[in-house]
Structure 1
Amino acid sequence: MYEQEYRNKCVSADEAVKIIRSGDWIEFAWAASVPGLLDEALAKRKDELHDVNLRGGVIISPLACMDCDPTGEHFTWNSWHLGGRERKLVQKGLAYYIPLKYSELPRYLRENVKTDVVAIQVAPMDEHGYFSFGVSVSHYAAAIDRARAVIVEVNEDMPRTQGGYDHVVHISKVDYIVEGGHRGLPILPSAPASDLDRQIAEFVLPEITDGACIQLGIGGMPNALGQMIAASDLKDLGIHTEMFVDGFVDMVEAGKVTGMRKQLDRGKIVYAFAAGTQKMYDFLHNNPSLAGYPVDYTNHPFIASQNNQLISINSALEIDLTGQVCSESAGANMISGAGGQLDFVEAAYNSKDGKSFICLPSTYNDKNGQAHSRIKGLMTHGSAITDTRPTVQYVVTEYGKVNLKGLPTWQRAEALISIAHPDFRDELIEEAQKLKIWRKRA
C-alpha cells in the first residue's frame, strides 16, 4: 500500500541533507541511534554551511560532522546529556550542554525551542507505513511535530521495538528516506562492577522486596545491583526506567521479572531508550513484553510513582553535608548531565512503599593519586545541583546507608559523616562546625 510513496521519497544521503540550511537547528541523534550516512553526507557540505546547530545526547559513536570542523565555524553540537565523546567536544569549545529535566524534553521541543530538521535513524518500514524509532523512543515524536522537514535513515539492523505511543513515525510525516542497509548498532559494554560497587549494592539489595518496580541508572554500581538481583531470591519484579540496559536482560532471563504486580503497564517493561550489547538489542526486537514510551511518560514523576514499590537507584559525583547532590559536573567542568535522576528521585519517594537511593563511593583519587572525599562540607565551586536537599532520600556509600528525609541540618551532617571514609570524618566534623551544622555534645 505504501510502496510507491516509499520509492518516491527514497533518495541518497547526499540528496537528503541538501534540505539543511545555514542557521538550521537539527534534532540528530540519541545514544545508540546515530544516522551515520546522513552524518557523513552533512560533513561533506561543511564548506557551504555555517552555524548549523545539531542536537542530541549520550552519543557513543563518532560524529563525522563534528570531526571535520575543528574550528566550530560550520557545526555546533548541543547536548541534552553528555557522553564521553561529547565531553571532549565541550572541553574544546565545540559543544555545549543544554540543562535538562529529562521528563520535560518533549515539551521543550513542542513549546520552547526551534527545530528545523529531524534527521534520525529508524528501523525498516512495516506494512502499515510505520517506521519504528527502535532503541531511541525518548523525544523523537515531539521533535517531528515541530520540524520543517523529516529525514529518516533506515538501518536494517535496528530492532523494531514495540511501544505504548509515540514510538513510531508514519511515512506520511517523512520527507526523505535514506536506505542505510545493514549498519549495525554501536556497542555499549556494561560498566564493569568493582568490589566497591558491590559493597555499595549490598546495602541496597535488602531494601528491595518481591513485586518491586525497578529503575536503574548508568554505571558500575547499578550494573552490580542488577547482577545481584538476577542472582537473588526476589520474584515478580517490574521494570519502569528511562534507560534499558543489559542488567535488565539478566534479571529477565533469571526469571525475576514478570511485571504482574505493576499498577501501570502490567506485564510490560517500560523504558524510553536503550543502549548496550548485541544480546540486549536482540532481546528488544519485536519483544511484546517491552513498551518504549516517550520520556514525558516514562520519567514523569506523577506517572512513574503510580507503580507501587518503585525503587530508584542512581549514582552521584558528590554530596554536601546538607544533602545537595551533584551528579553531572566536577566543579564547572561538565561530565554528563542531569538526565532523569531528579525525575526518579521524586517519583520513587511518591510511590507507595517506594524508595530512592543515591549511591557513590566515599572517595575519589585525583590525577596525582591523592584521595578526596565525595562527601563535602560545601559543594565544589561551580558544581551543578542535580538533586536539591528536600528531594534526597537514601544516600549510600561502601560504609552504609542513611535516610535524610525530615532531618535537620545537624542530623544530616551527622548521618552523612557516618558513611564518609573514616580518614575524612574528623575534617568533615570541623567543616560542619564552621558551617554551624554540628551540634555540640555535653
Structure 2
Amino acid sequence: MSFEKEYQEKLTTAEEAVKVVQSGNWVDYGWCTATPYALDKALAARAEELHDVKLRGGILLRVPEIFKAPDAARHFTWNSWHMSGIERKLVKDGLVFYSPIRYSELPRYYRENIVPNDVAMFQVAPMDAHGYFNFGPNASHMAAVCEKSKIIIVEVNNNLPRCLGGMQEGIHISQVDMIVTGGNPPIAEMGAGGAPTEVDQAVAKLIVEEIPNGACLQLGIGGMPNTVGSMIADSDLKNLGVHTEMYVDAFVDIALAGKINGSQKSIDRFRQTFAFGAGTKKMYDYLNDNPELMSVPVDYTNDVRSIAALDNFISINNAVNLDLFGQVNAESAGTKPISGAGGQLDFVLGAYLSKGGKSFICCSSTFTTKDGELKSRILPTLDPGSIVTDTRANIHYLVTEYGKVNLKGLSTWEKAEAIISVAHPNFREQLIAEAEKMHIWRRSNR
C-alpha cells in the first residue's frame, strides 16, 4: 500500500477521532507547540459525557479548550511535566497538577513505568515522501509517548516547522491510527520578554566575559539568558557550539551574527543540538528544514555524559531565589508552583564534568512586590515549601548585578560570605546576622 493511500484511509475528522477517549482514560496531549488544536476543541465538546479523563502534557502556550468546559475539573485533570505561566495560574482551580521529575528521565519513565497510555493526540508537521510525520520542535520524549500509547492520533499542521534530527524526531504513518487536519493554526509563540533591564545587562556582562572561543552553550529560559545571548551576538566570540535542552530566540541571533559553527564540538560537530524549542516565528522559520539543527530526545541532550563530552561547556540558568547554604530554588515561590525541575540540575552537573566547563546560576539580587516592597532573592534559608532545584553541593557560579562568585567546594562560612557579597547592600547586614545565628559566619577580612 502506498503511503498516500494509507494516509487517506486513516484520515478522519477531529470529532470522530476523539470518540476513542473514554472516562477514566489517560490521554497524552504531546508537548509545548505540539499541543493539539482541533482535537482539543473536539474533546472539549464531549466534556459532559466524560469524567476523570487524565491528561499529560507540559509548557502550554495557550489555554486548552478542555479547561473552558463547564465544571472542567470534574471532567479533566491536567498533569504537567513542566509548567508554563498558563498552567501555574490554573493550579488554584484544581485543574492542573505538577508531576515532579527531572526532564531527562521522561523517555525512560514512559518506557518503563507507564502502563500503556490510552490515547496520544498531538500536532505534527506534514507527512514526507517516506511516510514520516515530524514532531516539529518537540522531539523531547515524544517517541517514548508513541511507543507506550494504545491509540495514536496525529493532527497535521502545515505551519509546524520540520526539525531535522539525528534520532527519534518523528513517527511513521504505519504507527499512526488516525490522522486529522487541524486547519493549520499559527504555531503558539513564546516571547523573549521585554527589553533587558540594567540588572540583566550587568549580570550578562559578568557571564559573557567568562565564555571562551569555541565554547558550547546551553541557555535557559528568561530575560537574563536572553540578554546573555544578545551580548554574545554582539561580542567578538567565535566558533561557538550549541547543545541545549530548549532552543530559544537568542540562539538564532547568535547564529545569524556568525558566532556559531559547532566546529569545536567533540560530538555532533557542526550541529546545534536541542530537545525542544519555543519562541517567536523568527525562531520557527530558522528551525524549519535547517540541516544545521539537530532535533533529538531529551535523554540525549540532558544526559550528563553527553554534556561532559563537550569541552568548555557553558550552562546559564535562572533562579527564583537561593539561601546562604547555596541551595537554589528555580521552581516555586514557597509552595506556589512556578515551573518545574526541568533540566537545570542536569546541566549544572554536566557542565562541571566538562573540561573547562562552567555553570552559572543568575538572578537579580532583589525583586519588588506588588505593594512596592523591595525584597532580597538571597535568603538566610529558603521559605517553607520552597523546592531545592540544585543542592548546596552542586552550585558552581552565582551571578547577580553585584558580582559573580565561584561557590564550588567552599566551607559553609566561606560560601555564606561569598553569597552575601553579591546580595543587595540593603540586606547584607541582616543576612550576616542570620548567618551568625546559624553558625555559618566568619568574616575573612577581619
How high is the TM-score relative to the length of structure 1?
0.98
Aligned match of 2:172: 170
- Mapped to 2, the partners of 1:69 and 1:255 lie a distance apart of 51
- Mapped to 1, the partners of 2:265 and 2:193 lie a distance apart of 28
Asked if 2 retains the 8 angstrom alpha-carbon contact of 1:22 and 1:52, the reply is yes
- Mapped to 2, the partners of 1:440 and 1:245 lie a distance apart of 41
The Cα shift of 1:33 comes to 2.0
The structure 2 residue matched to 1:302, chosen from 294, 302, 305, is 305
The structure 2 residue matched to 1:344, chosen from 344, 347, 354, is 347
Asked if 2 retains the 8 angstrom alpha-carbon contact of 1:66 and 1:76, the reply is no
Aligned match of 1:26: 27
RMSD: 1.0
The Cα shift of 1:20 comes to 1.0
Asked if 2 retains the 8 angstrom alpha-carbon contact of 1:156 and 1:180, the reply is no
Q: Deviations over 1:62-98 (max 9, x none)?
A: 2001121445010011111111110111122211001
5+ residue gaps in structure 1?
none
The Cα shift of 1:274 comes to 0.8
The Cα shift of 1:279 comes to 1.1
5+ residue gaps in structure 2?
none
Residue type at the aligned position of 1:15: E
Q: Deviations over 1:97-119 (max 9, x none)?
A: 01020110111111123422111
Residue type at the aligned position of 1:231: D
Asked if 1 retains the 8 angstrom alpha-carbon contact of 2:66 and 2:72, the reply is no
- Mapped to 1, the partners of 2:25 and 2:32 lie a distance apart of 22
Report sequence identity in percent: 53
Aligned match of 2:382: 379
Aligned match of 1:8: 9
The Cα shift of 1:142 comes to 0.4
- Mapped to 2, the partners of 1:160 and 1:334 lie a distance apart of 33
How high is the TM-score relative to the length of structure 2?
0.98
- Mapped to 2, the partners of 1:330 and 1:181 lie a distance apart of 39
- Mapped to 2, the partners of 1:127 and 1:440 lie a distance apart of 68
Q: Deviations over 1:275-300 (max 9, x none)?
A: 11111111111100000000000111
- Mapped to 2, the partners of 1:343 and 1:69 lie a distance apart of 40
Residue type at the aligned position of 1:109: Y
Asked if 2 retains the 8 angstrom alpha-carbon contact of 1:31 and 1:58, the reply is yes
Q: Which runs of 4+ in 1 moved over 3 A?
A: none
- Mapped to 1, the partners of 2:72 and 2:433 lie a distance apart of 47
Asked if 2 retains the 8 angstrom alpha-carbon contact of 1:28 and 1:118, the reply is yes
1:188 aligns with 2:190: yes
Aligned match of 2:411: 408
- Mapped to 2, the partners of 1:157 and 1:440 lie a distance apart of 59
- Mapped to 1, the partners of 2:159 and 2:71 lie a distance apart of 31
The structure 2 residue matched to 1:246, chosen from 249, 253, 275, is 249
Asked if 1 retains the 8 angstrom alpha-carbon contact of 2:233 and 2:254, the reply is yes
1:389 aligns with 2:392: yes
Aligned match of 2:268: 265
Aligned match of 1:289: 292
Q: Which one is further off, 14-23 or 184-193?
A: 184-193
2:100 aligns to what SS in structure 1?
coil
Q: Deviations over 1:337-370 (max 9, x none)?
A: 1111011111111111000000010011122111
Aligned match of 1:157: 159
The Cα shift of 1:440 comes to 5.8
Q: Deviations over 1:109-166 (max 9, x none)?
A: 1112342211110000001110000011101100111111100000011111100101
Q: Deviations over 1:374-404 (max 9, x none)?
A: 1111101100000011111000000000111
- Mapped to 2, the partners of 1:91 and 1:222 lie a distance apart of 29
Q: Deviations over 1:319-346 (max 9, x none)?
A: 1101000000000000111111011111
Aligned match of 1:108: 109
Asked if 1 retains the 8 angstrom alpha-carbon contact of 2:30 and 2:142, the reply is no
Q: Which one is further off, 68-77 or 324-333?
A: 68-77
- Mapped to 1, the partners of 2:71 and 2:438 lie a distance apart of 46
Asked if 2 retains the 8 angstrom alpha-carbon contact of 1:245 and 1:280, the reply is yes
Q: Deviations over 1:302-326 (max 9, x none)?
A: 1122111110000001111010000
- Mapped to 1, the partners of 2:360 and 2:113 lie a distance apart of 32
The Cα shift of 1:181 comes to 3.4
- Mapped to 2, the partners of 1:270 and 1:214 lie a distance apart of 10
The Cα shift of 1:29 comes to 3.1
